[in-house]
Structures are given as C-alpha cells and as structure tokens.
Amino acid sequence: MLHCPATVLLARHGQAAYEATTWSDEGGSLTREGRAQARSLADRLHGRRVAQIYASTMARAVQTAEIAAARLGVDVTTRVGLQEFAVGDHYAVERDTDPFAETFARWLDDDLSLRVPGGETADEVIARANSVLQDIADAHPGETVLVVAHGGILTIAIRNLMTFEPGVRPKQFANCAFAETELRGDGWRLTGWSDPD
C-alpha cells in the first residue's frame, strides 16, 4: 500500500516575556509582538489545509498554537515531549547570563553526549523529539500539521534527524519561523524553510 507522508511544519513560538528573573522550566507568556507573530504565522499557513496543531506544554508555545489554531479553524493538542531542554542545575539562577551557551555550542559541534548539569544530553533531547514527531507524523498520513515548540529542541532535532533536500539548509529559528519536514520511508527530510515576513 502506498504511504503518503505527513508534512510536519516545525515552528518556534512567538516572542515571549518572562515573569521571573531566574531560569526555570516554566513560564514565558507572549508579548504583544509575540501575539502578532502567531497571527502572522497562521496567515502564512492559510491555504495549506493544516489538519491539526501540536504544541509543547510550555505557555509560550501553547499561546502561539492557540492563536494560530483560532485563525486556521483547527484544534491544539499539547505534548510534553516537545518541551524545551530542561534547565537542570541552573534552575533559580539569575537570567543575567546564558549558562547554556557553551553546552549548546558543543551540541552543535556534535558533542551529543554532553549533559546540561542536572538536565539532559543532546542525545536525550533528540530521542524524545524523534519519538513525539514520529507519533505525530504516523497519525496524519497525507496531511499537513503544525508543531509549535522551542528553538533549542527544534534546532538540535533538525540537525540530527533530518536529511536536507538539495538547496535547503536550516537557519537560526526566529520567532514563528518554521521548517517544513516529511517523515519518509528512509527517514526525516527537511524540505523547506520559512522565516517571518
């Protein structure tokens, strides 16, 4: 039987503000600009016949997904596996610096076994992203779905799960940018990239 792959659009949430001055695995609500970005994301997808939206359980992703869903007339389902990588031992540390920059840079250099202290390795982030994205793709053969998550998990997943179609390369995830992907018989493919206007 011919299998029609799902088109899975992987989007970063809109711009967010954080109520706490310390790092945590919660929080972050869309700013006015973030809400406008979410509306623009939906407008860019108008006519794509998006069947369903999936989102990380984090508020900034849920809010982005709900704004887009209202404009597209579809439902939102949250999935824990789409959350951003955990802050680990940096929980409650002041946000005046980025304690993840060095670790993330080493992840991008393929040091995938390196762990955020008290948190996850890149290998673990990739495995949970792959699991939930495969479930989503398998549930929507021949359909287009939108997944709203976070810059870190999406960047690491795309770089390590995807084969890139000719002429298509991943970029840095701006707020409400999205990558177009398909899960084919030979694995994940990155087939396109859309930055916000």
Numbered residues of the known binding site: 60
List binding-site positions for substrate.
60
Amino acid identity of residue 120, one-letter, is: E
User: Are 88 and 116 within 8 A, CB to CB?
Assistant: yes
Closest CA to 125 of 161, 95, 94: 161
User: Are 98 and 70 within 8 A, CB to CB?
Assistant: no
Reduced to 3 states (helix: H, G, I; strand: E, B; else coil), residue 182 is strand
Torsion of CA 151, 84, 156, 53, to 10 degrees: -70
- Backbone dihedral region of 57: left (phi > 0), alpha (psi from -120 to 50 degrees) or beta? alpha
51: tokens are 């069947």
Closest CA to 176 of 6, 3, 12: 12
